[in-house]
Amino acid sequence: MLKIFNTLTRKKEVFKPLENKKVRMYACGPTVYNFPHIGNYRAYVAADLLHRTLLYLGYKVKLIMNLTDVDDKTIRDSKKEKKKLDAFTKPFIKGFFEDLKALNILPADIYPRATEHISEMVKIIKILLKKGIAYKGKDDCIYYSINKFKKYGKLAHLDKEQLLAGASGIRADEYSKENVRDFALWKAYTKDDGNVFWDTDIGKGRPGWHIECSAMSTKYLGKSFDVHTGGVDLIFPHHENEIAQSEGAFDKKFVKYWIHNEWLLVEGKKMSKSLGNFYTLRDLLEKDYDSFAVRYLLLATHYRQQLNFTLKGLEAAKNSLQRIWDFVERLESIEGKNNSKFSDIVVKYSKKFKSAVSDDLDISKALAVMFDFIHDTNRLIEKNDFGKKNAKEALNLMKEFDSVLGLLREKEKLSKELADLIKQREKARKDKNFKLADKIRKDLKKKGIILEDSCSGVRWKKI
Ligand code: AMP
Ligand code: ZN
């Protein structure tokens, strides 16, 4: 039985999807105006952990992750670079998919783009206008009137007074809207938008950010669905506004479980573009860090706890990962007598792991279970109390764990030419011909292979 912390109720709840054994899930995706930093990827790794856990527990999952390819930032920066909006966002979208793959994040079923769903957004705005929940401001923009939605603030746990207090010091009459907290559903065209606009029934302009997610989630998942994820910064106003829009338009409970991840910090501050304290994944890969180590680091702290990023932490993550990889490799060359009690050990650890991840994705416990299993199995191997059949069972259990953790890389095959080069370098090292060994290492790097020497021999990886 899965229990998950729901931001809506601020409680750990028993997870029961609307439809038996089927989960409809929406993850707020990236705004594609640059390459995401690894703080952003903490959000996607957290969503991936939930996605994988649901699959592991036997649910069918339909996962949607949107791409915000039109908003203030994409327009601003595409103009700066004198590019059309789609030409500007294209390389970042491509880069995003490359990063997802490098981080072993399972793909979503659909990655809808905001620019391809304008008519769906207009449709919802028209419903809101008709119901009197939205209105046209003096500036021709269309706003959502938060006073018309009684439950406004239910996710962020803010009452109307707090909302107004937050806006104190701002005089409402300086605005084109009726209430300073009302938010834009549709932004009327201005010169600053250049050639980015849509001519629609509700005027010439472009959508606000929040309406994008209401339109894309309900289009693919229905007016009510199970899970919506994002970082804690999205609780307010983004997700609060999504609820107001969707429930305001459709009169149905929008989302059952809201799940939010905490910050990735750098020296106590949120990693963010604006503070300049960020690493992109490609920054780290260029420094020869392994993308799986980044995944491990982002995964290994519970999603609701803040995580302080350091390069030292990343190295420690790599070491933990190496222990897992070494263990799996060791299992592949076992030659001993089988231990008849080993199946019971496997069953015990499988149960423990399942109960850990089922408890609000308790990753620390789940990893501890796996490392205890590795430790116990290694002791049996050392005592020669472990055979080929046991190794197969152990490997299957590691794969079971990995369906949730995603830390094992599929074995890549080397061409004969490259494998021979590695052998020649090994020989050169044995012969103490370090000059030749170094030369071969450099040649291999040019061919896209990096070598790492370790006590258990040389390892290679593709760049
Ligand atoms: P954005 O592209 O800014 O909309 O952000 C994409 C996702 O990354 C959102 O779910 C954010 O909440 C999340 N996010 C941004 N910065 C961080 C951070 N430093 N730590 C964790 N999540 C973050
Ligand atoms: Zn969103």
Q: What string of DSSP letters covers 177-202?
A: SSSTT-EEEEEEP-GGGTT--EEETT
The pLDDT > 70 percentage for the chain reads: 96
Regarding whether 151 and 43 lie in a shared domain, the answer is yes
User: Which letter does DSSP use for residue 260 in this model?
Assistant: E
Q: Whose CA is closest to 213, among 127, 128, 112? A: 112
Q: Are residues 148 and 174 in the same domain?
A: yes
Task: From 214, 209, 219, 201, select the one nearest 129 (Cα to Cα).
Answer: 201
In a domain, 44, yes or no: yes
Q: Is 233 in the pocket of ligand 1 (CB under 6 A)?
A: yes
Q: What is the largest CA-CA distance in the chain?
A: 83
Cα-to-centroid distance, 43 and ligand 1 (Å):
6
Mean confidence (pLDDT) of the chain:
94
Question: β-strand 3-6 against 11-14: which pairing, if any?
Answer: antiparallel
233 in the same domain as 292: no
Which numbered ligand comes closest to the C-alpha of 241?
2
| Ligand 2 centroid, distance to 73 Cα (angstroms) | 15
Q: Say whether both 426 and 333 belong to one domain.
A: no
Question: How are strands ordered across the β-sheet holding 269-270?
Answer: 269-270, 264-266, 307-308
Instruction: List the Cα angle 155/160/165 in 5-degree steps.
Output: 115
| Residue 142 within any structural domain of the chain | yes
DSSP structural state of residue 238: I
* Pocket lining: 30 vs ligand 1, CB cutoff 6 Å: yes
Q: Are residues 379 and 450 in the same domain?
A: no
pLDDT recorded at residue 172: 45
One domain, residues 327 and 438? no
Stretch 80-100: mean pLDDT, rounded? 98
User: One-letter amino acid identity for 288?
Assistant: D
Ligand number nearest CA of 66 is: 2
The residue whose CB lies within 8 Å of the most ligand 1 atoms, and thus the one to mutate among 233, 258, 263, 309, is 233
Domain that holds residue 424: 416-462
Ligand that lies nearest to the alpha carbon of residue 308, given by its number in the listed order: 1
Residue 299 lies in a domain: yes
Contact 48, 11 (CB under 8 A): no
Check if the beta carbon of residue 227 is closer than 8 Å to that of residue 26.
yes
The pLDDT assigned to 403 comes to: 98
SS3 state at 151: coil
**Residue 314 in domain:** yes
How large is the average pLDDT for residues 251-270?
96
Give residue-wise pLDDT tens across range 139-173: 999 999 999 999 999 999 987 666 765 554 444 44
Token look-up 């919506």 returns 228
Q: Which two tokens stand for residue 138?
A: 């003096």
Q: Is the pLDDT of residue 29 over 60?
A: yes
Residue 277 covered by a domain: no
Q: How many domains does the chain have?
A: 3
